[in-house]
Amino acid sequence: MTNKADNPENYNASPWNGKIRPWIRRPWAFWTALGILTFGLISNLVFLYHNCPFDLTEDESHYWLWSKHLAWGYYSKGPGIAAIIYAAIHIGRLFGIAHATMPVIRTPAVIFAFFSGLASFVLARRMFRDDRAGLMLMVLSAGMPVFAVGSLLMTIDSPMYLSWALACLCAWLAVEPRYDETGASAEADGRRARAAWLYAGGFIAGLGILCKPIPLFLPPSLAIAAIFNPYLRRKLATWHSLGAVILMLGIQIPTLVWNAGHNWVMFRHIGGEGGLEGHFNLLKHLENIPAQVGLYIGAQAGICAGIVFVLLILAFVDAVKISRRAADPAQSSHWMFLICMALPLFGFYFILSLWTKVQPNWPAAGYFSAMILLAGIAVMRWNQPRENKYYRRWLVTAVLAGFCLYVLAENSQRLYPLAARLDPTGHRFPAVRWDPAFRLHDLRIRGLAVSKVRQAMWSGHGPQPLLIADRWDEASSLSFYVKGHPFVYCIQSLTGGRESQFNLWPGIDQVNPATKKLRFLGRNAVLIGWFTPTEFKQLIVPAFKHVGKMQMIHLYYHGVFMKGLALWKCYGFKGFPHLPGRTWY
């Protein structure tokens, strides 16, 4: 028989005496959920340290380079990610790992994912007063490919997401209605504790902004929740809320000072990412809107494995209905809290997609509260088998489909020998056509190929040849995977491309203060990248006494063609010409 407390109109809210239903204790659900979370932590660590097939991505390599040049700010982000990788490498040394390795760099991501999951588990149980909600959340999260990727890759999203999760938890602990085990109100106590949670949330959000600015959306999201829910408005309308925001912003002062001394480069980069720089063409802009919006929605559906995306939309519709029908704002406060911790963020990036291209991971923080909301709706519908038998089937299908996609991507390297047998040349079925994780398999072999060319070019006496790349991401990856971790110089801005962190570091054209001459004058170099004939004639040829013919190296992974690598052997560096309109270091 269906429990009245499981009806959509009053999940958690009972129509009797203004009380919510008593907490539903299910020890088996509690321990199963924790078991799933712990198993994910252990399995990810084993995967990382036991022949992990995923190379360090170009972004991860770039942040690793940052960690070797610690500062209060960088070209595109704050100092958080560099400090985390720096700490991970030094802690690795305490465990006998002397050099920076892929597993060591990525270990914080696994730990952050565990605590993010733990925060979501705690929040789901507290909001819905039901151990089954925590279990449902863990099961649903296992079917979310975006969570699986975020738990392995050490990018800025990993610490930012943890910051968002913990700040949301702190915010809820500061405003949640207090009830005893029977469901009776217990609002009298805890004013100091509520204020402390607000300041804790502000502090944690401030740390997250040092990695990625997304936690700046937390105060506006809470403000929107307060507008629509009188109970939340009453709880948040204190000076402590303002104090928490001031604390969050105060943590950014060192980074702001750094930016002020570097021409506000981080803000100019963010503005460029948001489409606020460059020539504006209205007709072209209008033509791109359908593609940009479609790409944004399609990307969000993709990272949710499709079915979960539809279930999330239905869950938001149900939550809005429940929130509107609740007689007591306090009893619907958790629904409005979850709605406003997700929809404003998704909505902002939807509007931004009308203006410029939005990357799939930008609104990822919104999935934290969105998945908790879905877990609450799913438990409610799961306990109504007659009315929601199809919902059950789609829920199970969504979890299984997402989990299978994750397992397939994690083990895609096992399909390469089969593809090589079907195509001995390796070119008929290139990895780019069928492997969504192909970009994680060719970075190490690219570094090995460049290492061999560099070693062959070196006479064995004097300094080894310099390495020069035409892109910041390729330069970063080669710095990690070329033997000896040499610094790879980037000339992307000289070819008319975008600036990067390399423009803030001493470049290949640096001058020796003692001799007043180029530091690398006369040095040989290996040049990697693609150039137009004009760029090659005007920029590369004048920079050296002699430039050899282009070498095209085909990179293979288990016999399957990955990509072509173009490089040149260059002799006698003379300095790059300063072309009009091109930026330099």
Amino acid at 453: V
Q: Token digits for 209?
A: 């902004």
What single-letter DSSP state applies at residue 155? S
Question: Which residues are 564's β-sheet partners?
Answer: 554
Q: Token digits for 215?
A: 């936690």
Amino acid at 415: L
Helices and strands, counts by H and E, the chain: 23, 6
Nearest one of 166, 167, 209 to 78, comparing CA atoms: 209
- In order of 165, 312, 324, the CA distances from 5 in angstroms are 28, 22, 17
The structural domains of the chain, with segments of one domain joined by +, span 25-179+192-409, 438-573
Q: Which helix (H) or strand (E) holds 563?
A: strand 560-573
- C-alpha 20/C-alpha 5 separation (Å) is 9
Pairing mode, if any, of strands 489-490 and 560-573?
unpaired
Query: Are the beta carbons of 421 and 165 closer than 8 angstroms?
Result: no
pLDDT tens string, the chain, 585 residues long: the values are: 344 444 544 455 433 233 456 778 889 999 999 999 999 999 999 999 988 889 999 999 999 999 999 999 999 999 999 999 999 999 998 888 877 789 999 999 999 999 999 999 999 999 998 999 999 999 999 888 888 888 899 999 999 999 999 999 999 999 998 765 555 555 655 567 789 999 999 999 999 999 999 999 999 999 999 999 999 999 999 999 999 999 999 999 999 999 999 999 998 888 877 666 655 566 776 777 888 899 999 999 988 888 899 999 999 999 999 988 887 888 889 999 999 999 999 999 999 998 888 888 899 999 999 999 999 999 988 877 666 778 888 899 988 988 888 888 888 888 888 888 888 776 777 888 888 888 888 899 999 999 999 999 998 788 899 999 999 999 999 999 999 999 999 999 888 888 899 999 998 988 888 888 899 999 999 999 999 999 899 999 999 999 999 999 999 998 888 889 999 999 999 999 876 554 543
Q: Which residue has the tokens 């204790």?
A: 25
Which alpha helices (H) appear in 176-217, and where do they start and end?
A: 191-209
What single-letter DSSP state applies at residue 536? I
Q: Which residue has the tokens 């007063």?
A: 129
- C-alpha 491/C-alpha 489 separation (Å) is 7
- C-alpha 145/C-alpha 151 separation (Å) is 10
- C-alpha 124/C-alpha 450 separation (Å) is 50
